[in-house]
Structure 1
Amino acid sequence: MTILLTGGAGFIGSNLTKQLLQEGKQVVCLDSLDSYYNPDIKWANVQQSLDHPHYHFHEGDIRDAELVNTLFRTYAFDAVIHLAARAGVRPSVQDPALYYDVNVTGTLTLLQAMQHAGVKKMVFASSSSVYGDSLQVPFTESDPSDRPLSPYAASKRAAELLCHTFHHLYGFDIFCLRFFTVYGPNQRPEMAISQFTDSILNEKPINVFGDGTTARDYTYVEDIVNGIIQSLENLRGFEVLNIGGSDPISLANLIQVIERVVGKSALINRLPMQPGDVQQTYADIRKATQLIGYQPTVRVEDGIKRFVAWYLVKYKTGLVI
């Protein structure tokens, strides 16, 4: 099987690439190595797979229709795993046009290239942020998702709708996976667990937005990778699936877990809640369990231990950028 993996140099994509290659898949990675965070981190991820005979890397933008169509003419893709996106809820408030362009126009460019090439299978990475600040927990796929709180969330919901349109018009098989706060090795440096771990280790203050009662359904990247692969193996029709840990933890308790694992206390700088943030996320995963056999296996406490162990190795060897 030959797969076009967009955003394959990033956090989730690099972990997914390793697993796909281990399973004998051919992976063609398209990634712009954008500057949202240090591109050297993403390039280091790419280099881990460059020598593999079934891995091909192309630097470029999913909005570049000529490039995307050339890839479809060059390779006989069986499916697309579309992870590429402009990431970050809070930064999207400052530059909504960029988020719309990358996340919506980029997705449309891919879907049109698939149509022209006769490729009809896609796994699309969506986000739990599409639920907005829902008071009904856990979040189920049938809940209304028409009140997003950030341009990032709105762009992900719009891309989901585009995916359904191409399913309806052209018979595409597409699963839209709503990821819930992913963490683990290769995690982006601006994400909470990365920042908190680094700051606590180095005895620097951490910024805590709100009173610590906000809660997130953290999902270990290994479970996310398994959910993507299980979706790929069961692609049929159009579905929206929650892929989460289904075990939310408050911000205050998360910090306590990191403190215990690191062995140091956090210095906390309390700040007001930021625009676009939601109070809680919590995945109802019954549909994903039923349709694809998804079941998270790594609890937050164990996942934090694994992440900190990885981080310490990278930190000591000078590879944390």
Structure 2
Amino acid sequence: MKAIITGGAGFIGSNMVDFLLEKGIKVKVVDNFISGKMNFIEHNLKNPNFEYEKIDMKDADKLKESFSGDFDIVFHFAANADVKGGTKYPTADLHENVITISNVLEAMRVNDIRKIVFSSTGSIYGEPEIFPTPENAPFPIQTSMYGAAKLYGEGLIQSYCEGFGMQAWIYRFVSVLGERYTHGVVFSFYQQLMQQKDKDVKELVFLSDGTPLKSYHYVGDCVEGIWTGLNKSNDKINIFNLGTDEDIMVKDIADIIVDYLGLKGKVEYKFGKNSRGWIGDSPHIRLDISKLQKFGWNPKLSIKEAIIRTVDYLKKNEWVINENYFREKN
């Protein structure tokens, strides 16, 4: 197998790169290296099965050229993942998530690449009424630019499968934690605490009132789940939720981090006013993962274990917390 991984220098993408290379699969990373990090892939530079190319995926012609070379499959992870910034930068998801998936599919069509793995999101369910939320749940009103763009991507992929004989594996993730994690609530809490190292009493600012129930899963479990679905399900269009059988209150995430860092009694919580941290933030996310579990996949780490793994990674790689993941957008 020869695989292209868009966004392969990012958090989930780079973990997928390592996973595939360990299986002897040839991998080409295509990334613009704006949010992706060379640090995440540089250990693979001497691997003969690895190559990378810096490309802006909004450049359709360059992308078509990059996809030439008898590739079998595209893993499309490249995206603007700034859900919170959707209303501040209303066209960012159009440019980074909508136009890019169109360009990716066209580059695949022109180069006769028939298989795509797409990283979608549980955000497409908006604020559902069914928990855990199954893949066939009715779609409510879209509440975020990010979720709407990902839903468009799913639809476009499905139409290319029908129109051009392609095959797709679409994964709707809950939030992912683990090594190379660069943004999100665990990152924010840890970053805040580290920026107040010298204070006897630290303040932890919440965007919400601390009550939202969220689900998370470990990046290692995520890539294993992707691989399981890819190898065990062979329909034209294969759609899976990816997550855990748990959810957790945001306040409890803070408690785990504070306790693990030995700061119990030394941190004051400053809560927001409501159960949504921002416009488009869902107060409850928990996905039904039983469809993928039927193929033998199960998450190995609990949410608490994934949080601790993430904190350990951030402690060992403090350069990450000084990076600005979400750039200013046009």
TM norm structure 2 = 0.89
Contact 1:7–1:30 under 8 Å retained in 2: yes
2:43 alignment counterpart: 48
Contact 1:130–1:153 under 8 Å retained in 2: yes
Contact 2:4–2:74 under 8 Å retained in 1: yes
Distance 1:245 1:206 in 2: 27
Distance 1:7 1:92 in 2: 20
Q: Deviations over 1:116-148 (max 9, x none)?
A: 221111110000000001121111110122421
State the identity as a percent: 28
2:307 alignment counterpart: 304
Contact 1:200–1:267 under 8 Å retained in 2: no
1:149 aligned onto 2:143: yes
Contact 2:26–2:50 under 8 Å retained in 1: yes
Bigger mean CA deviation after superposition, 242-251 or 93-102? 93-102
Equivalent residue of 1:80, what SS?
A: strand
Contact 2:122–2:173 under 8 Å retained in 1: yes
2:279 alignment counterpart: 275
Contact 1:206–1:268 under 8 Å retained in 2: yes
1:7 alignment counterpart: 7
2:204 alignment counterpart: 206
1:293 aligned onto 2:262: no
Q: Residues 25-40 of structure 1: matches in 2 within 5 Å? A: 25-34=25-34, 37=35
Distance 1:253 1:320 in 2: 22
Structure 1 residues 309 and 170, CA gap change in structure 2 (3 angstroms): same
Q: Deviations over 1:240-270 (max 9, x none)?
A: 2100112110111111111121111433222
Structure 1 position 235, deviation (Å) = 5.2
Distance 1:98 1:311 in 2: 28
1:195 aligned onto 2:188: yes
Equivalent residue of 1:209, what SS?
A: coil
Structure 1 position 48, deviation (Å) = 2.4
Structure 1 position 319, deviation (Å) = 6.1
Structure 1 position 201, deviation (Å) = 4.2
Q: Residues 170-249 of structure 1: matches in 2 within 5 Å? A: 170-188=164-182, 190-203=183-196, 204-234=202-232, 236=234, 237-249=236-248
Structure 1 position 196, deviation (Å) = 1.0
Structure 1 residues 96 and 202, CA gap change in structure 2 (3 angstroms): closer
Distance 2:92 2:317 in 1: 32
Bigger mean CA deviation after superposition, 156-165 or 12-21? 12-21
Distance 1:174 1:157 in 2: 14
Structure 1 position 202, deviation (Å) = 4.5
Structure 1 residues 4 and 235, CA gap change in structure 2 (3 angstroms): farther
Structure 1 position 194, deviation (Å) = 1.2
RMSD of aligned residue pairs (Cα, Å): 1.7
Structure 1 residues 320 and 279, CA gap change in structure 2 (3 angstroms): closer
Distance 2:232 2:47 in 1: 26
2:119 alignment counterpart: 125
- Count of residues in Structure 1 that have an aligned counterpart in Structure 2: 311
Bigger proportion of residues as helix: 1
Distance 1:3 1:233 in 2: 14
2:327 alignment counterpart: none
Contact 1:200–1:262 under 8 Å retained in 2: no
Equivalent residue of 1:141, what SS?
A: coil
Equivalent residue of 1:30, what SS?
A: strand
Q: Deviations over 1:144-176 (max 9, x none)?
A: 224211111100000000011011112211011
Which of residues 58, 62, 69 in structure 2 aligns to 1:63? 58
Amino acid at match of 1:19: F
Distance 1:264 1:199 in 2: 13
Distance 1:319 1:157 in 2: 30
Bigger mean CA deviation after superposition, 199-208 or 167-176? 199-208
1:168 aligned onto 2:153: no
Residue segments in structure 2 that go unaligned for 5+ positions in a row: 197-201, 323-330
Contact 1:261–1:304 under 8 Å retained in 2: no
Distance 1:275 1:141 in 2: 24
1:82 aligned onto 2:76: yes
Distance 2:103 2:233 in 1: 21
Q: Deviations over 1:33-85 (max 9, x none)?
A: 12xx5x6xx12113222222111111112221111111222x21110100001
Residue segments in structure 1 that go unaligned for 5+ positions in a row: none
TM norm structure 1 = 0.92
Contact 2:86–2:93 under 8 Å retained in 1: yes
Contact 2:191–2:321 under 8 Å retained in 1: no
Amino acid at match of 2:144: S
Distance 1:297 1:198 in 2: 27
